[in-house]
Structure 1
């Protein structure tokens, strides 16, 4: 709440991040229409002209807006509360769409998979909400196993209610109370799960991106990037996120595991680069790799890894103690194998 919307959008511009933000469901329809015109309207509009007068001539080009956050979470599974949320969603959705028909909307009704109210909400907002916001846990280093089940079950219900639906899922909060190696592994397994379902999941957004050092006031002690007046440093989950962003490949390929490793594999469009995303929760583990028809071009493979005791974290005195370690390693092309460190997230980048 320390960010104003326009400050947030300017931050996103400077950091090359696609913005999305949530609005309060009790905003007025007129205020939301004016907001959209201010953010996305050209200078010929009343509010677009005001934005230009304030120094931002070009429209912000906002694409994603969430209406509410964790709605109907606190007072139980009550249909009348879901109905009230649907009414507010429709009111604000209509007002904003009149100003910009290209907006994509995320609905924030709290997901209760066993509740009949989920179908009620789905049918009411299908065709209006582009995404349903699912919040997941991240503290468990194997959190992705539960997230995998939730994503698969959620989409199965969508399709059972409307086989032609275009509604998808956005994971706009991965929550917990940790920011050490344990959370880095939990985030990595969550992203492995989301990678498996990437054709219908917009994104994963771990809370909190930014956290002031020693000023956390709500028990969600989970910042990826910590800062003080004179210093900024990343926590292990930040490096877990950074590793994946820097080693993204667009195609997912099948991966089968014998044992306890959590694994996904991705491939470049030219089929010449393979990425193995591997989380090892437990002791050091020597592993044989069967790459199928993918043939190594040589013995050298790039390895990116973060590892440590589950409670390990960085501090102002040691801001880089736990971060990604990059090595060029040698793997036998005929019998590829690798020893995954204890409590680690590793990416192996293999060239063909």
Structure 2
């Protein structure tokens, strides 16, 4: 365990008397003075990143309930695409490669004799089952073709097929691919249902694509987004989203990750090869993500493949910002987004080696973007730095690079266009140990960029990934420590945690770090989510200097904020002992009440589950400042605390429960 900070105390009993006794043993507590000295605008501190890893998107937030919608997967059952199974005897199944609807193959069903309904069924993500609710309507579309007219029954069924929950007969009359929409109203609830497509008469049918999603009742503001998941992002208080990661650059073959594969009717979008998964549906892509940001009222930053062609990026400018009179502006309008997007920050790449090769690619795209609009902020897809940089042209610990020469060229390029450029750095926050060292390296990186930057140029650092392989209380403490430390650094503009989301029990790719968890039935939050929600509740516009005396900065961090609403103070204690501080908000705050939230994170491996979603959650309390605007605050071991001033009033309750 980490050593206790100076002035730490261990509280061995509970109750007002024992707390008072413990404080009595600390005649000289540390102090934290919340000053009026503004050090900068408070950075965007509650942000999350998402990409299609561990089914964050396809099988996660994307409202599509069918997994294997385009029948791209190799067969598991003979003749049936991998995410599907046959429902009953009586039909024959095969994979057809003759003019498939999309991708390399489609699904074929045939009958030589009439009989009971038989066909194929899908149970959602990795066949975990679909959740349907009695009385609710589900919307769908299926793409079919048949050499002769045939009736296809589309139905929701229990997992064993014995209960029919909803059904609709569709008549296929076209030998060419035809799109048939349908609605199904569930007559009963089932948390592990299946969707079936079946025939019972002689003949055959090919199936090219299937979509099923909740009606408007289950989608967030009409988007193809699970409403329960989006509402948790709302409650989290997210200020920004980032879409990207290894899915789009920096880790392997992402040659098919292109923005043009993500426009138009989702039914018609191509199936592409992904980094995390062999098949990507592209039904939820960059622009659905940006629309989610609009609906949440937050910044949504997409990360592009650094190998996009310059001419395609020029088309992207018109698709995002151009009038409907342009070719790609009209495409955006046809896709349902009449007005130009307002988002003006785009990332080029992710975790790349920012060397001369990267610079050449960046320059080719940046000149297109900044010639169109120098007000667009481009983000360099940098990686991580483990050691302090003393010579920007020769150092160790830079991950993929040993020199910042290419960074200097990027700064000069941005300066020529009068544009601001951001540099994205990623930190490891699985546990608190080692974070202070990473931040010292980050400080040296920021100082090196400042030395390399031309006079008058503008640049910031964004931390788009706080990373871990955990989603437990220990990771929450690591995030709290890192965010609190970064909030005090004026060069930081955005602090974002990976990953926003994770499907429970479907962790295929490592990165077991979702802040919001979900299954087909519901969604719930993990301990790091509570850190974000607490920070969001205590946000103030300006970061101010907090004078901290006592404690070891490697284990204790404090950050303070002010605006017209009042002041707030966030404290992270990552040590194994409680810490006592005299906090001082100044005489102007005399007798003010303090609203306090404390997140106890000492059970390092504790997580929240669907059965026990509040296993790790903050507790609230009150404290009142004295005539000098001061109070004694105890910060428990392994905890994160947010403190906010309120108007002076009587009857406040202190941390021990007293009035």
**1:67 and 2:360 equivalent?**
no
Q: Which residue of 2 aligns with 1:11?
A: 292
Shift of 1:115: 6.2
**Cα separation, 2, equivalents of 1:242 and 1:91:** 40
If the length of structure 1 is used for normalisation, what is the TM-score? 0.89
CA 292–102 in structure 1, closer or farther in 2 if over 3 Å, else same: closer
Q: 1:324 to 1:143 in 2, by over 3 A?
A: farther
| Number of residue pairs aligned between Structure 1 and Structure 2 | 342
* 1:120 to 2:411 alignment: no
- Measured after TM superposition, the shift of residue 171 of structure 1 is 0.6
Instruction: Assess if the C-alpha contact under 8 Å between 2:587 and 2:627 holds in 1.
Output: no
Q: Distance in 2 between matches of 1:326 and 1:284?
A: 20
Hey, what does 2:513 align to over in structure 1? 222
Aligned position for 1:207: 498
Does structure 1 residue 345 correspond to structure 2 residue 636? Answer: no
1:89 aligns with 2:365: no
- Find out whether 1:314 has 2:608 as its counterpart: yes
Please name the residue that 2:563 is paired with: 269
Which residue is 2:305 aligned to?
A: 24
1:136 aligns with 2:427: yes
| Length-normalised TM-score, structure 2 | 0.49
Query: Alignment partner for residue 321 of structure 2, among 35, 40, 61?
Result: 40
> Contact 2:577/2:637 (CA < 8 Å) preserved in 1?
yes
SS in 1 for 2:563: coil
SS of alignment partner, residue 69 of structure 1: coil
Determine whether 1:236 maps to 2:527: yes
Could you say what secondary structure the match of 1:265 adopts? strand
Normalized per residue, which structure has more strand?
Answer: 2
Q: Describe the SS at the equivalent of 2:461.
A: strand
Q: Aligned pair in 2 of structure 1 residues 299, 122: CA closer, same or farther (>3 Å)? A: closer
Q: Distance in 2 between matches of 1:125 and 1:70?
A: 16
Q: Which residue of 1 is the match for residue 620 of structure 2?
A: 326
Residues in 2 aligned to 1:349 and 1:142: alpha-carbon distance in whole angstroms: 28
**Separation in structure 1 between the aligned mates of residue 377 and residue 533 of structure 2, nearest angstrom:** 26
- Tell me which protein shows more helix as a share of its residues: 1
Output one character per residue of 1:60-109: Cα deviation in whole Å (capped at 9) or x when no partner: 2221111111112xxxxxxxx82111111111112233333321001124
Matches within 5 A, 1:147-162: 147-162=438-453
Q: What is the CA deviation profile of residues 159-189 of structure 1, one whole-angstrom value per residue up to 9, with x for unaligned ones? A: 2223634222111111111111111111111
1:186 aligned residue: 478
Larger RCO, structures 1/2 (Cα 8 Å, 6+ apart)? 2
Q: What residue in structure 2 maps to residue 247 of structure 1?
A: 538
Alpha-carbon contact 1:144-1:193 (below 8 Å) kept: no
Which of 163, 166, 189 in structure 1 is aligned with 2:458?
A: 166
How far did residue 111 of structure 1 move?
Answer: 4.8
| SS of corresponding position for 2:355 | helix
Backbone CA RMSD of aligned residues? 2.3
